[in-house]
Amino acid sequence: MKDDYDFSQGKRGPIVTGPKGKTRITIRLDNDVVQWFKTQVHQAGGGNYQTLMNHALREYIANTDEPLEEVLRRVLREELRNAG
């Protein structure tokens, strides 16, 4: 059976590339957060919840004066408090 396949011209990597300016990532979010975004999109008549998340993140970035280091420290403190 192996003789039937010729992968000598094969290339490693994704078969389908994403659009320019986009990066595919794996991220774990709380179920209720994802559901909220999905609900918002559904109530608006359709769309993509990931696009809505991207928009919300851009809006946060544009409207925050808090340094990223402070945001990370605050979030980590909250997560550690909730984990213990």
Q: What range defines the domain where residue 54 resides?
A: 30-84
Q: Over the stretch 36-65, which tens digit does the pLDDT of each residue have?
A: 999 999 999 999 999 999 999 999 888 888
Residue 13 pLDDT more than 80?
Answer: no
Q: Is 18 inside a domain boundary?
A: no
Q: Which of 27, 43, 30, 35 minimizes the C-alpha distance to 78?
A: 30
Residue 14 lies in a domain: no
53: left (phi over 0), alpha (psi -120 to 50) or beta: alpha
Q: Is residue 15 domain-resident?
A: no
In this prediction the pTM is 0.59
Residue 2 lies in a domain: no
Q: Considering all CA atoms of the chain, what is the largest pairwise distance in Å, rounded to the nearest integer? A: 62
63 occurs within a structural domain:
yes
11 domain-assigned:
no
Considering the domain boundaries, does residue 1 fall inside one? Answer: no
**Domains: count for the chain:** 1
